[in-house]
């Protein structure tokens, strides 16, 4: 490494939540590109993803010490808080002069609490593309930080929260550079059962065509993280990036990680047509939940023609009542028809569901299970509701029964989507766990569904891995069957 360069280390503090696996860290690649543009190659940059080979603290310590960074940015989810702080302690043990920065979901939702740890020097809230280079430049020059938007920092003995930085408007100007793509080995991520749950080619590259989400689903923190305005890259810009990945990285599969790719249906159709006309022979998947009410027959056909083999719909609840309460506002009969049309096109169709909403009863949960089981879905994921203190004001009307203690508990150690301890619904955690496992059992113990999915999954090994995960949940559900009362078990099949 060049001795005259400053050294910046990005660490993705990945910890499993029981589903999926690590995916290439898009946020870090965007920020690395921004540093390269702003400092004209003056930084030696590395990325450590602790999700690759389940990197331990000891292994992380060795790699950090070897690189000897001047700056370390840690990107973390809320359930990774404990691991983040252990990593931060290791960094300061190596050298107290290393500047430590936290960015990502945890930083945006609980930034001031993160700063209670004196091993953390700065927090970046929201997007880091613009903020990180400004912050680093000010630290290097030892300038006043009061005007740096989008950071939380130490001002003497106090923790200071600066003005929020507005979200980036011109996404075409913020591209991942060729050298940033070299910071990760895309093939490292192919061995994991990722959030897509499927893989058609040997490996894939992640792509982001838009940022932001205008919808107001009460359980979601996307608006805090990405803003409520739907901001887009141009069709040409998107296709050019995919072409570059195909020609320079040997990529044959793309996973699009937009919060809501099909918010603008006409734009989605244009991108599909542009990909079709480009002549690129690629496979495409959408691991994040699409809106079923922003889908029509033409878009389904275009997605399929462009190379899409798998997509997921965010359904959340099978109760019309809770569709309104959580402000998802889907018409379930229409959703079921869209799922059927998508399945009939030959694509693998997944669905995301959430259980444990405040006020949700056993009857409501059963409706969600029945919707999934009786649909044309090939894959269904049933999550337990996770609430974050910073987003609860949007749905305070359904949270009267929830006191601030749990939401403000910064440990976040049990904030995974599969927590065994948490329930906001009209049932205790044990009963809610029972229903989630029951949903897995009823959905996946369907020979017709298993056979259809087996035929559609190109990667049979990954399919078998996914089924083994489902089988383990099914076995757990039988072991927990005594938890269910007579009335909740009477409908089992």
Name the strands in the sheet holding 43-49, side by side, starting at the edge strand that comes first in the sequence. Answer: 43-49, 6-12, 71-75, 99-103, 122-124, 151-155, 158-161
CB atoms under 10 Å from CB of 486, counted, come to: 6
Lowest mean pLDDT among 218-222, 254-258, 281-285, 308-312: 218-222
The answer regarding whether domain 185-489 maps to CATH 3.80.30.20 reads yes
Please, where in the chain does CATH 3.80.30.20 lie?
A: 185-489
Burial of 188 (0-12, 13-18, 19+ CB in 10 A): middle
CB atoms under 10 Å from CB of 120, counted, come to: 24
Q: Among 1.20.1600.10, 1.10.600.10, 3.40.50.800, 3.40.50.2300, name the CATH number for the domain at 6-161.
A: 3.40.50.2300
- Kindly tell me if the per-residue pLDDT of 194 is higher than 80: no
Please report how many Cα atoms fall inside a 13 Å half-sphere around the Cα of residue 234, on the Cβ side. 7
More confident call, 463 vs 444: 444
Tokens (6 digits) for 151? 């950071």
**Residue 355: left (phi > 0), alpha (psi -120 to 50), or beta?**
beta
pLDDT mean over 25-50 = 96
Lowest mean pLDDT among 162-166, 228-232, 446-450: 446-450
User: How does pLDDT run across 303-316, given as a tens digit for each residue?
Assistant: 999 999 999 999 99
**Inter-residue contact 113 to 410 (CB < 8 Å):** yes
Give the model's pLDDT for residue 139: 98
Give the model's pLDDT for residue 473: 62
Strand partners of residue 312? 289, 350
Q: Which residues contact 1 (CB under 8 A, 6 or more apart)?
A: 7, 44, 67
Give the model's pLDDT for residue 27: 97
Give the model's pLDDT for residue 41: 87
- DSSP letters, 229-253, are S-EE--HHHHHHHHHHHHHHH---E
**Inter-residue contact 213 to 322 (CB < 8 Å):** no
pLDDT mean over 286-295 = 95
Confidence of residue 21 (pLDDT cuts 50, 70, 90): confident
pLDDT mean over 178-206 = 87
Tokens (6 digits) for 121? 């020097």
User: How does pLDDT run across 320-339, given as a tens digit for each residue?
Assistant: 999 999 999 999 999 999 99
Residue appearing with tokens 């700065």? 122
- Kindly tell me if the per-residue pLDDT of 483 is higher than 50: no
Residue appearing with tokens 């543009």? 37
Helices (H), 79-159: 81-94, 105-114, 131-141
Lowest mean pLDDT among 27-31, 101-105, 350-354, 478-482: 478-482
Give the model's pLDDT for residue 489: 31
Radius of gyration of the chain (CA): 23
Please, where in the chain does CATH 3.40.50.2300 lie?
A: 6-161
User: How does pLDDT run across 371-424, given as a tens digit for each residue?
Assistant: 999 999 999 999 888 776 555 555 555 555 454 434 444 555 555 545 566 777
User: How does pLDDT run across 449-458, given as a tens digit for each residue?
Assistant: 887 877 777 7
More confident call, 482 vs 252: 252
Mean pLDDT for all residues in the chain: 88
pTM: predicted TM-score of the whole model, two decimal places: 0.89
């Amino acid at each position: 490494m060049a001795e005259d360069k400053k050294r910046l280390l990005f660490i993705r503090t990945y910890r499993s939540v029981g589903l999926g696996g690590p995916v290439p860290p898009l946020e870090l690649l965007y920020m690395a590109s921004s540093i390269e543009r702003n400092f004209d190659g003056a930084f030696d940059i590395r990325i450590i993803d602790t999700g690759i080979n389940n990197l331990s603290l000891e292994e992380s310590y060795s790699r950090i010490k070897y690189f000897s960074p001047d700056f370390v940015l840690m990107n973390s989810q809320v359930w990774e808080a404990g691991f983040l702080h252990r990593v931060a302690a290791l960094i300061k043990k190596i050298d107290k002069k290393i500047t430590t920065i936290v960015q990502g979901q945890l930083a945006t939702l609980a930034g001031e609490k993160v700063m209670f740890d004196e091993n953390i020097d700065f927090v970046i809230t929201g997007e880091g593309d613009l903020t990180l280079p400004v912050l680093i430049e000010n630290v290097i020059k030892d300038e006043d930080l009061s005007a740096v938007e989008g950071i939380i920092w130490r001002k003497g003995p106090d923790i200071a929260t600066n003005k929020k930085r507005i979200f980036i408007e011109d996404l075409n100007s913020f591209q991942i550079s060729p050298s940033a793509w070299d910071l990760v080995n895309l093939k490292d991520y192919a061995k994991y059962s990722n959030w897509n749950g499927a893989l058609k080619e040997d490996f894939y590259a992640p792509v982001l065509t838009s940022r932001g989400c205008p919808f107001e689903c009460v359980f979601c923190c996307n608006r805090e993280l990405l803003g409520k305005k739907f901001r887009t890259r141009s069709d040409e810009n998107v296709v050019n990036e995919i072409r570059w990945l195909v020609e320079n990285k040997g990529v044959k599969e793309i996973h699009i990680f937009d919060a809501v790719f099909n918010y603008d249906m006409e734009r989605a159709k244009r991108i599909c047509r542009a990909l079709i006309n480009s002549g690129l022979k690629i496979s495409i998947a959408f691991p994040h939940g699409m809106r079923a009410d922003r889908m029509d027959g033409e878009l389904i056909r275009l997605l399929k023609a462009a190379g899409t083999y798998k997509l997921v719909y965010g359904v959340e609840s099978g109760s019309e009542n809770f569709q309104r309460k959580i402000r998802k506002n889907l018409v379930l009969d229409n959703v079921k028809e869209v799922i059927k049309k998508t399945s009939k096109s030959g694509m693998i169709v997944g669905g995301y569901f959430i259980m444990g909403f405040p006020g949700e009863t056993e009857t409501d949960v059963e409706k969600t299970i029945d919707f999934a089981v009786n649909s044309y879905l090939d894959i269904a994921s049933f999550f337990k509701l996770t609430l974050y203190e910073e987003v609860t004001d949007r749905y305070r009307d359904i949270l009267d029964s929830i006191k601030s203690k749990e939401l403000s508990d910064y440990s976040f150690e049990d904030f995974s989507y599969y927590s065994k301890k948490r329930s906001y619904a009209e049932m205790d955690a044990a009963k809610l766990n029972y229903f989630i496992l029951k949903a897995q059992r009823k959905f996946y113990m369907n020979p017709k569904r298993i056979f259809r999915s087996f035929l559609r999954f190109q990667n049979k090994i990954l399919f078998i891995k996914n089924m083994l995960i489902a089988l383990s949940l099914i076995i757990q559900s039988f072991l927990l069957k005594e938890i269910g009362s007579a009335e909740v078990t009477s409908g089992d099949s």
